[in-house]
Structure 1
Amino acid sequence: MVLHKNSVTSESVAAGHPDKVADQISDAILDEYLFNDSSSRTAIETLVTEVFGPNIENSKIESIVRNTIKDIGYEHDGFHWETVKVNILLHEQSNDIAIGVDQGAGDQGIMYGYATIETESLMPAPIFYAHSILRNIMSMVKEVKLGPDAKSQITLAYENNLPVRAESIVVSIQHLEDLNQSKVKEIIYPYIASSLPEGWMCPKENLLVNPTGRFVIGGPVGDCGLTGRKIMVDTYGGYIPHGGGAFSGKDATKVDRSAAYMARYLAKILSLQV
């Protein structure tokens, strides 16, 4: 009998970790809403920090924020790049953290790198085609009164460990009042089909577009957003485990980003040598 041995690493943080402080405040507020009304629907975001003098002028940061929102395409009532309210709260990094950073990457964490020959980009096929579908649709949204808020999801059938076709596809995309559900589906269908290899398109009854029927109010007006809530979208789509750290907003001294990128780089090299 062969005895197989392996090691598994997990990470935890204390209640005083800033990320967990934010989590606990959000949950405490949620509890109060639910206590007063058990049918409350909430998605509370909390950011905790100490305000300290930033080393970049606030006017420059505000300009970056507005230009980013403009590039995304938000010129809507309630969330317009020209009129959106921007509050800037910045502080310097802790000197205690800086000691480790000055010597290189200064933090602990668990990072995953993965590569597969399922696609030319060496990404898992489900996340690759989910991205492709949205990329093709979003290339024409301004011309057809769609977006910019949108999501896609694809389920692929596998045979002999390789993807062979799409079983179902879901796309939710913001639209103007004068477009109904069937019209939105008609508009985006060609862009979805062209995103997949020939013969992979799912049956039309398995293509769900705006399944709730209406998606006029979207973006930050319809829901709150916070950096780091889409970590699976940013990596491998749930195809493999995730260490839990987000990428966005972090420089290369943060191992959540730099080590994850290096792990992916090494995985690509190894996959090409197989």
Structure 2
Amino acid sequence: MRRFYTAESVTEGHPDKLCDQIADAVLDECLKEDSESRAACEVLATRGHLLVAGEITSKHEPYVPEIVKKILEDTGYQAEDITIDVQIHKQSPDIARAVDHPQGRRKGLSEEAEARGNGAGDQGVMIGYACNETAQLMPMSVVLAHRIVRELSACRRSEYIKGLLPDGKAQVTVEYEDGKPMRVDSVIVSCQHAGDKNLRKLEQEIRNKVLLPALRPLPADEDTRIYINPSGRFVCGGLNADTGVTGRKLIVDSYGSMVPHGGGAFSGKDCSKVDRSGAYMARYIAKNLVAANLADRCQVSLAYAIGMAEPVMVQVETFGTGRVCADDCLAAAIPLVFGLSPKQICDTFRLKRPIFQRTAVYGHFGRKEFPWERIDKTEELRNAVM
């Protein structure tokens, strides 16, 4: 059976990703000085204007305009051309109370569960996924899309391709047969460029200097459709052509079209917000299940209620690839191996450190530098289910 799955990634200068980086840079600055900082920072950017807003409770008051200017300049924008507005206030006392004083016992959970720490900062569903089709245990289309935009950004920064500008994106469709990636069906690259750039030369440079190295895990074949700047010229881009908003690239941040998304954005949020930390834990669990050879593909779903210390749902789907026991058996083993309260997740991954700006580009998953990518629970999982 043939199927097609598509994934997209965007460069660091894409307006939405610019906003994500600023939101996470503000969070990091707070955590550097106060590890107990709470943040839900949002950014909106358009031509000539940038707004940073949201809720921050911290002993440290970051100088946000300076953070914004640094990110703008690092990503290839002229900071002096942009007016910066900051509208930040403290976290809602009702939310703070729910986080600091979890309602586990009142809702029927055990005292032991209540003692596991803070309540969730919001309700919601978080999805984690892993598969054995790539070394990263990620979908092939996702890996390829991120590789393309990494190469594109590297070529711009080093001027290996002259005339590239900050905004850009890539989209990759991979053809599967019987659940295995067989070939690259299509590739789309859109990259902003200087007005005097020769478009034919740009296309050849993108093919040779970006796509050839990026597609090494699954090279294009003679039937792969490759489209480079299919609309023609792409001179007017970035904030002059598009409005950026934090959290608008949820599928880019996660697993592409192959996997559902719970709906919660990541950037700008501290670890008490389970739409971020819970998604990291769900990926950690799914990756360890696949690495333990308990399944070829695994999707883990966690659901939380605001103020509750433990998830209200833990679910596993192996799509018929499970090797040892049924999916509900795997789900029952998860609480025996992993701490699932917000506090336990923060402690497991040490999420009170300023590590988040690095997550804001090229996806939050499949990158070995992040602690939720460890595969150190495989033996415990095997013991729990066998």
User: How many residues get paired?
Assistant: 223
Matched with 2:91 is 93
113, 118, 124: which one aligns with 2:128: 113
Which residue type is aligned with residue 113 of structure 1? G
Q: Provide the rounded CA distance (Å) in 2 between the counterparts of 1:236 and 1:50.
A: 27
Q: Provide the rounded CA distance (Å) in 1 between the counterparts of 2:55 and 2:218.
A: 56
Matched with 2:66 is 63
Q: Provide the rounded CA distance (Å) in 2 between the counterparts of 1:166 and 1:52.
A: 44
Local SS of the residue matching 1:264: helix
On the 8 A contact 2:53/2:86 being kept in 1, the answer is no
On the 8 A contact 2:185/2:223 being kept in 1, the answer is no
CA RMSD of aligned residues (A): 2.5
What does the per-residue CA deviation read over 1:59-86, in whole Å, with 9 as the maximum and x for residues that have no partner?
x211001101111122xxxxx1233210
Q: Provide the rounded CA distance (Å) in 1 between the counterparts of 2:250 and 2:184.
A: 24
Mapping of 1:10-21 within 5 angstroms?
none
Q: Provide the rounded CA distance (Å) in 2 between the counterparts of 1:49 and 1:216.
A: 30
What does the per-residue CA deviation read over 1:94-113, in whole Å, with 9 as the maximum and x for residues that have no partner?
00000122223222101100
Matched with 1:17 is none
Q: Which has the bigger relative contact order, CA under 8 A and spacing at least 6?
A: 2
Q: CA deviation at 1:199?
A: 6.4
Q: Provide the rounded CA distance (Å) in 2 between the counterparts of 1:50 and 1:117.
A: 39
- Flag structure 2 segments of 5+ consecutive residues without an equivalent: 1-45, 101-117, 294-386
Matched, 1:221 2:221: no
Q: 1:260 to 1:205 in 2, by over 3 A?
A: closer
- Flag structure 1 segments of 5+ consecutive residues without an equivalent: 1-42, 75-79
On the 8 A contact 2:56/2:91 being kept in 1, the answer is no
Local SS of the residue matching 2:187: strand
272, 283, 288: which one aligns with 1:264: 283
Local SS of the residue matching 1:88: strand
Which residue type is aligned with residue 90 of structure 1? I
Which residue type is aligned with residue 111 of structure 1? M
Matched with 1:82 is 80
Q: 1:48 to 1:178 in 2, by over 3 A?
A: closer
Mapping of 1:1-80 within 5 angstroms?
57=61, 60-74=63-77, 80=78
The structure carrying a bigger strand percent of its residues is 2
Which residue type is aligned with residue 99 of structure 1? R
Q: CA deviation at 1:206?
A: 1.5
Say which is worse superposed, 250-259 or 187-196, in terms of deviation: 187-196
The ranges of structure 1 where at least 4 consecutive aligned residues each deviate by more than 3 angstroms after the TM superposition are: 47-58, 202-205
Q: Provide the rounded CA distance (Å) in 2 between the counterparts of 1:51 and 1:166.
A: 43
130, 155, 164: which one aligns with 1:146: 164
Matched, 1:157 2:143: no
Matched with 1:35 is none
Which residue type is aligned with residue 285 of structure 2? L
Q: 1:247 to 1:197 in 2, by over 3 A?
A: same
Matched, 1:175 2:187: no
On the 8 A contact 1:171/1:210 being kept in 2, the answer is yes
What's the TM-score once normalised by structure 1's chain length? Answer: 0.75
On the 8 A contact 2:133/2:139 being kept in 1, the answer is yes
Matched, 1:127 2:145: no
Q: CA deviation at 1:201?
A: 1.1
What's the TM-score once normalised by structure 2's chain length? Answer: 0.54
Say which is worse superposed, 84-93 or 182-191, in terms of deviation: 182-191
Which residue type is aligned with residue 258 of structure 1? S
Local SS of the residue matching 2:255: coil
What does the per-residue CA deviation read over 1:27-66, in whole Å, with 9 as the maximum and x for residues that have no partner?
xxxxxxxxxxxxxxxx9xxx997899996556x2110011
Q: 1:236 to 1:207 in 2, by over 3 A?
A: same
Matched, 1:234 2:253: yes
